[in-house]
Structure 1
Amino acid sequence: MRQKGLFKKALVLRKRGFSFREIHEKTGIAKSTTSLWLRDIDLSKKAKKRINNLRIRGRKKAAETNKKKREIESRVISEKVESYFDKISYPLVDPQIACALLYWCEGSKHKANATVSFINADPEMIKYFLYVFRNSFNLNEKKFRALVHLHEYHDVKKQLKFWSDIT
């Protein structure tokens, strides 16, 4: 049974474009009851616009919250991984296995091609792969080649110098 005073107050708020949550907060009426009482009310363009703006702001706020949550989770995972690797003694890590794992993840697997291609944009990963590759196998350094993909906005000289130092 509706309490006339509360219903009228809720109706006025709804017609002014207040959301069911806002009406609940201002009147104490349960959101489910608010929805039941007011769901068939025709809203003016102004009221619809206000409610739509609330939705848009809510989505933006949720996106920001989710982004922060993902960043925190990522940071926690990174810290755990770093902590784990800090405890590992590198002489215990077989360089050939490390090289094979990196190649398995980032290498080209074209069987017809007798080359080793390692594709990655992380300078540290490339540096480490080349380190374990060079120190794990008997290689002819003269056969090493590097291919750098650049876009028109890159400074070619700077990029070639940078990647030459890495490799």
Structure 2
Amino acid sequence: MNSKIIEKQYAIALRKKAYTYSEILREIPVAKSTLSLWLREVSLAKQQKQRITLKRVEAQKRGARRQREIRVQKTKRILAEASRELGHVSARDLWMIGIALYWAEGSKEKEYDGRVVGTRAEFCNTDPKMIQVYLRWLQ
């Protein structure tokens, strides 16, 4: 019997046991498109579909965790490199940063009906580190 026919029959048998495509591909080295053609007509029971769905959800969670780990590591690397490049922040640097933050996030005096309003120091940002820098600038 032709080896492809044997592989196809084996793939169908595995699918009927609720194997996922990935699991079948580990057993039978064929293209995923070929596998899809072979298994197009195979229907699964509700329990089998649930198993496959559960495996898919688990894989998505693993992938999301891994992506988060990669993002956290990348962020740490970037922050460490930026800290090395920046070095010490001088009083002048802090002054310039504070001015930029105030300009972007602080309140400005505005004139309404001939009177000046907004003379308080206000800062509209929820990032704790930005708030710390702004407060340090105000001192």
Residue 8 (structure 1) aligns with: 9
* Runs of 4+, deviation exceeding 6 Å: none
How far apart are residue 57 of structure 1 and its match? 0.7
* Kept after mapping to 1: 8 A contact 2:102/2:123: yes
Mapped to 1, the partners of 2:50 and 2:83 lie a distance apart of 49
TM-score w.r.t. the length of structure 1 is: 0.66
- Please state which structure has a larger fraction of its residues in strand: 2
Aligned residues: 132
Tell me by how many angstroms 1:128 deviates: 4.0
Show the counterpart of 1:100. 99
Distance 1:43 1:127 in 2: 58
Identify unmatched segments of 5+ residues in structure 1. Answer: 135-167
Alignment of 1:1-167 (within 5 A): 3-86=4-87, 88=88, 90=90, 93=93, 95=95, 97-109=96-108, 111=110, 112-120=117-125, 125-134=130-139
Q: TM-score, normalised by structure 2?
A: 0.78
Listed one character per residue, the Cα deviations across residues 43-72 of structure 1 (whole Å, up to 9, x for unaligned) are 111221111111111110111011111101
CA distance, structure 1, for counterparts of residue 5 and residue 137 of structure 2: 79
Q: Does the 8 A contact of 2:94 with 2:137 survive in 1?
A: no
SS in 2 for 1:34: helix
Q: Percent same amino acid at aligned positions?
A: 30
- Structure 2: distance between partners of 1:46 and 1:7: 23
Shift of the 103–47 alpha-carbon distance from structure 1 to 2, 3 Å rule, reads: same
Name the structure 2 match of 1:165: none
Q: Specify whether residues 32 and 25 from structure 1 end up closer, same or farther in structure 2 by C-alpha distance, changes over 3 A only.
A: same
Gaps of 5+ in 2: 111-116
**8 Å Cα contact 2:107-2:118 kept in structure 1:** no
